Every structure is written in C-alpha cells, then in structure tokens.
C-alpha cells in the first residue's frame, strides 16, 4: 500500500488552519482557559490597551490565517501553482501570532502549532 503524501499534507494544513480557530475564539473571549488570561499577549499586553477595536483587528488576523490555510490546502490539492505564494505569508502570520500569544495557550497547543508550521514549511520544500 502506497502512502498518499499529498493527502496527508492537505489534512495537516487543514488541521493547522482549523487549529487557529482556538486563537480566534480565545481573542474574542469566548473561552476561558484555566490560569491563562483571555485577550492578553505576553509580548504586547503592557504596551497596548486591549480595547474592542484592537481585539477585532487581532481576531481578523486569526481569521485570515484560518481561511488562508484552508485555501492553501485546497490550492495544493487541486495542484494550483500559487499555493506556495499564499502559504508563505500564512506561515509568517501564523508564526507571528504564535510568538505574540505564546503564553496564552496550553503547552500541547503550543507544540501542535509549532509542528503544524514545521510540516507546512517541509511541504513547501518538498512538493514542487
């Protein structure tokens, strides 16, 4: 039985994109994780006042990454050449959000986010 690496990569990208919904939900304050402050960034909380407008902007960034990775997965699956062009800024935004909100999520989420980004980077390098 041959392994379909294209399908595995698509599933990984979709899962990573869906995983970013946790950031979106967290930013909106719809969930409250134990001992983790909602809407706060370890990097920005002291510099920025998290008013409703800023929270909406941050939430929009999370949504862009969610939708962006879903589009990347679809474009890759249908062998559209521009999937790489979209994947690069999505990885950059994903990593930026990951760094800024690193301490706002449990360790298993941090590990999953890092692995997701690494898998997509490997896919960029592996698939032509």
Give pLDDT tens digits for 82-117: 999 999 999 999 999 888 877 777 788 888 889 999
CA atoms within 13 A on the CB side of 96: 12
In this prediction, residue 63 has a pLDDT band, given cuts at 50, 70 and 90, of very high
30 pLDDT higher than 60: yes
* Structural domain harbouring 103: 5-126
In this prediction, residue 80 has a pLDDT band, given cuts at 50, 70 and 90, of very high
- Dihedral (Cα; 118, 80, 6, 114), 10-degree rounding: 10
For residue 89, the model assigns a pLDDT of 97
9 pLDDT higher than 90: yes
Of the candidates 56, 40, 124, the residue with the CA atom closest to the CA atom of residue 90:
124
Least confident piece of the model among 41-45, 64-68, 77-81, 87-91: 41-45
* E runs forming strands in the chain: none
User: Quick one: tokens of 39?
Assistant: 């809407």
Q: Using alpha carbons only, what angle is made at residue 57 by residues 56 and 59, rounded to the nearest 5 degrees?
A: 60
């Amino acid at each position: 039985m041959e392994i379909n690496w294209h399908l595995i990569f698509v599933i990984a990208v979709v899962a990573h994109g869906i995983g970013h919904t946790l950031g979106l939900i967290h930013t909106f304050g719809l969930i409250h994780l134990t001992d983790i402050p909602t809407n706060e960034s370890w990097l920005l909380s002291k510099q920025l006042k998290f008013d409703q407008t800023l929270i909406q902007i941050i939430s929009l960034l999370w949504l862009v990454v969610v939708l962006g990775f879903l589009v990347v997965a679809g474009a890759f699956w249908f062998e559209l050449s521009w999937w790489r062009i979209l994947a690069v800024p999505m990885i950059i935004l994903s990593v930026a959000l990951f760094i800024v909100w690193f301490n706002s999520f449990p360790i298993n989420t941090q590990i999953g986010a890092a692995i997701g980004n690494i898998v997509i980077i490997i896919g960029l390098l592996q698939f032509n």
